[in-house]
Amino acid sequence: MNKEIQKITILPGFNKGLKKENFDKIEILKGEVVTIVGPTGAGKSQLLYDIEKLSQGDGKSRRKILINDNIPEKKWRFDPRFKLIASLAQSMNFLTDMKVKDFLKLHIKARGKDFSVQIINKVISDANDITGEPIDPDMNLLNLSGGQTRALMVSDVATISNSPIILIDEIENAGIKKEKAIDILVSEGKIVFLVTHDPALALGANKRLIIKNGGIEQVLITTPKEKGIAHYLNWVENFNLKIREDIRLGKRIEEVKVFCQYYDKDKML
């Protein structure tokens, strides 16, 4: 399905004051990341809702969403078997008493894919790349921490899910390596919409949509300099996560070289 979806287009609706949004259209291509930013209560969740429902002027904002320049087929809007969009909420918890590997096997089967150990290994390996707390395939889902759960779901959505469009609400609160998490999704050709208050995530995206009073107020294309700032901010946070991990393991943090070990100055602009 990913190969079918090359572009999603947002057509303007109206803000809370019934003023039409000031743009012709917003186009997002396969493999792009768009961040949605604005104050609490500005209307970010409504935009996510419009995208998830592939709205056709039938939501509060009256926005319309096109897929590959066309009105979405009804099955994409209303039939769960053909759902184009996967959502990752702020807090996610498993309620099923089963092992991680058994859950992944079940999801592979539910998606109609051929089972392979390689797929499970990839999902767990990618998840462990973005969480400081390693996940073992024999661990029980109920024993996973919040960070482990979010990391597993990001990796699962990237590798097993057929959904080409991913909606994420505030991944910065998950206690995972955010930049790597987004990279994993993009590497699989997903279109990612991300609600965030995190400056590193906001500046690292291809575009950011500024929401005010229920409407899209601005559409900003990220500049190379902004991406450089995002890289630095992510490096600072990853360095902090590494130090925290070393402290948990009982290591001493004494040498200056540990500071430089994780910083690639050539990536700064």
Question: Hey, is 225 helix, strand or coil?
Answer: helix
Determine the pLDDT at residue 92. 63
Rank 38-47, 130-139, 238-247 by mean pLDDT and report only the highest.
38-47
Task: Mean pLDDT check: name the lowest of 55-69, 88-102, 115-129, 189-203.
Answer: 88-102
Q: Which residue has the tokens 């992944």?
A: 104
Residue with tokens 């290591």: 251
| Res. 18: pLDDT tops 90 | yes
Arithmetic mean of pLDDT, 171-188: 79
Q: pLDDT by residue (tens digit) across 38-96?
A: 998 899 999 999 999 999 999 899 999 999 999 998 888 887 777 889 888 766 666 67
Is residue 261 scored above 70 in pLDDT?
no
pTM, to two decimals = 0.82
pLDDT tens digits, 146-160: 888 888 888 888 888
Mean pLDDT of the chain: 85
Residues in CB range of 226: below 8 A, 6 or more apart? 203
Among 102-106, 108-112, 209-213, name the one with the lowest average pLDDT: 108-112
E-state strands within the chain? 7-11, 26-29, 33-37, 64-67, 85-88, 165-169, 191-195, 207-212, 215-221
Q: Based on the number of CB atoms within 10 Å of its own CB, is 205 exposed (0-12), middle (13-18) or buried (19 or more)?
A: buried
Cα separation of 109 and 101, whole Å? Answer: 12
